Amino acid sequence: MSKKIKAALIFGTRPEAIKMAPVVLEFQKRKEIEPFVIVTGQHRQMLDSVLNLFKITPDYDLNLMKENQNLWDLTSDILLSTKKVLEEIKPDVVLVHGDTTTAFGASLSAFYSKIKVAHVEAGLRTFDKNYPFPEEINRVLADSVSDFHFAPTKGAVDNLLNSGIKTKQTIYETGNTVIDALFYTLEHHKNALNIELNPNLKTILLTSHRRENFGEPLKNICRAAIELTEKNKDIEIIYPVHPNPNVRNTVYQYLNNKERIRLIEPLDYAPFCNLMKKSHIILTDSGGIQEEAPSLNVPVLVLRDETERPEALISGGVKLTGTETKNIVKNVQELLDNNSLYSRVSNVKNPYGDGLASKRIADIITEKLS
């Protein structure tokens, strides 16, 4: 019998876990692959809930999360901790995901160890190193050391080719694994929503947690939420508030006890998917939601000035609003008032995939490393 391919899958945040979980499950099915799941714990509680949802038990839990951790400490901790684990496992390939500090640190660690690197969700770009910060540089650096670039879209493939990664043989358009995760979750946990929605009100889901929105941008978002509920008596805004104190302090200062604005604790992934599905409009600065919501026929307004997911904008189901209060209010109001516009933007084809990305990734790893 031929030797199994040792594959180390390293991730540390909730979004990474959601998008890597389908890859883990697919690798576990393959007799040719021996997967090792390594989590850094960059997001602790939020990471664990996703692992439980997909019934994934890490082989190594580095548990690196610290209160108010900074990028210097986190990056060095990831680099040194993964070095030890990689020396023990001696994998044939290390898979990282996206644009987190875990992805950057683990890919660099694998590169230093002369281990092949596979970057899931490769090729995303805003072409502004400070937006989003530090994610844009994290993903560029991860791409630069990778041997397999699993790009979710043709646009991401083009970004890789145009950024100096000229070897087409390392680039594969696979679709985005988040669609695999979404379909799996809605199939296996279709009744997971654990909060009551008012059937007489349109639900507007709001999420904002990115560093670049801390401070005045987040205050503007909160002001927009207040203005929208004052203008529209038939809506309710539900905001799962991120645990980061830079988010919580501002949000509770502005929005606590406001009529028809519900501040709730972060939801586990399964109830969150069901909440997205039942929402009328989503306001978010999240990257993953821009990819998921078009599969649910829910319009998304992005609370950012730029996005590394232009395909979503081209599809028509996603629109940039920035973080100015008047722009947010204007764009939401248009969707609430114009039924034909709402129908058009809520019925688009999702450019991010068909739910088979993980299978394609496993096929490529098996073919190339057997």
Q: Annotated catalytic sites, by residue?
A: 99, 121, 135, 209, 211, 242
Q: Can you give the three-state secondary structure of 77-108, one letter per residue? A: HHHHHHHHHHHHHCCCEEEEECCCHHHHHHHH
* Residues 215, 247 contacting (CB under 8 angstroms): no
14: how many CB neighbours lie within 10 A of its CB? Answer: 23
Token pair 């654990």 in the structure block, residue: 194
Q: Tell me if residue 331 falls in helix, strand or coil.
A: helix
C-alpha angle 35/88/37, rounded to 5°?
Answer: 25
**Could you give the C-alpha distances from 197 to 194, 216, 227, 232, in angstroms and in order?**
10, 30, 21, 17
- Between CA 346 and CA 232, with CA 333 as vertex, the angle to 5 degrees is 115
Cβ distance 312 to 301 under 8 Å? no
How far is 282 from 213, CA to CA, in rounded Å? 17
Report the DSSP beta bridge partners of residue 172: 150
Do the beta carbons of residue 127 and residue 161 sit within 8 Å? no
Give the C-alpha separation, 265 to 345, whole Å.
29
Quote the tokens at residue 47.
């990471």
Instruction: Say if strands 281-284 and 116-120 run parallel, antiparallel, or are unpaired.
Output: unpaired
